Amino acid sequence: MSTQIFPSITPNLQVSLIGKSSVEIATYFGLSIAPLESSDVALFIVSASDGISPENAQLWQTARDLYIPSLILITELTNGEIDFDDMSAIAGRMLDTVQTPFLVLHDESGNPTALINLDTLKIANYTNGIRTERESDPEHKVLVFEFRKEYLEAVEEFGPTGFQDGLSFPAIPFIPSNGLGSYEIATLINSIKNLPSRR
C-alpha cells in the first residue's frame, strides 16, 4: 500500500518481532528486527490460523522476566473462522491476561473494517485503506459497555503506564490489506520512546 496511515516509528527504538510473518510486518512498519533481550518493546504476532507456538510462548516468558513492554498483534482475521475476541481470549490463556483497548467492527459483508476505542468510544474506520475517525453511535456505546468497563478496570489496576512498564499487555488486531490497527500499533510503540533504553 502506498499511503502510510500510521505515524512514523520513533527512530532508534529497538523493536523485537516474534511470530509468523514477522519479517513482512517489520517491513510494513519500516522496522529493523532487534534481538528480544536488547529490545525496548516486543511485538508478539499471534496468527488466527496458527495460534501461538510453544517456542513463542517461551519467548513471552523471557520478555516477562526482563519486563520488556509487549504488544500482541492478532493477524489473519479475514478468513471468518475465528475473530479477534476469540484470539484475544486464547492469547490470554496461553500467555498472560491481555487487554483489548480496541474492538473490531465489521461491514455488512462481515469484513473487519473499523475499530472502536474503548477509552474514547471513537470509531477509526479503515474501509478504504485510509484511517478516518468519528464519534460512535449510541448503539455502539451500548454494545461495548461491558467490554469498556472491564478494560477501564484493567487500566486502573495497572495504571496509565502499565504497558510501558511491562505489566499490562494490549492485544491489537492487524490487517495489512486495509491497514486496520496500524495507527494504533504505531502509537503504542511510540509511547515507549521516553523510557530509558535497555541497551
Q: Do the domain assignments include residue 8?
A: no
* CATH number where 64 lies: 3.40.50.300
User: What pLDDT score was predicted for residue 52?
Assistant: 85
Q: pTM of the predicted model, to two decimals? A: 0.90
Q: In angstroms, rounded to a whole number, what is the distance separating the alpha carbons of residues 164 and 175?
A: 24
Q: In angstroms, rounded to a whole number, what is the distance separating the alpha carbons of residues 171 and 187?
A: 13
Q: Do the domain assignments include residue 9?
A: no
197 pLDDT more than 60: no
194 pLDDT more than 80: no
Cell numbers describing residue 89: 481470549
Q: Do the domain assignments include residue 2?
A: no
Query: Could you tell me the residue range of the domain that residue 113 belongs to?
Result: 15-190
What tens digit of pLDDT does each residue of 101-131 get?
999 998 888 888 999 999 999 999 998 888 9
User: Can you state the angle between helices 182-190 and 22-29, rounded to 10 degrees?
Assistant: 80
Q: Do the domain assignments include residue 85?
A: yes
Q: Do the domain assignments include residue 183?
A: yes
Q: Do the domain assignments include residue 197?
A: no
Q: Do the domain assignments include residue 7?
A: no
Q: In angstroms, rounded to a whole number, what is the distance separating the alpha carbons of residues 150 and 130?
A: 30
User: What pLDDT score was predicted for residue 159?
Assistant: 86
- SS3 string, 123-185, reads EEECCCCCCEEEECCHHHHHHCHHHHHHHHHHHHHHCCCCCCCCCCCEEEECECCCCECHHHH
Q: Do the domain assignments include residue 164?
A: yes
Name the domain count of the chain: 1
195 pLDDT more than 80: no
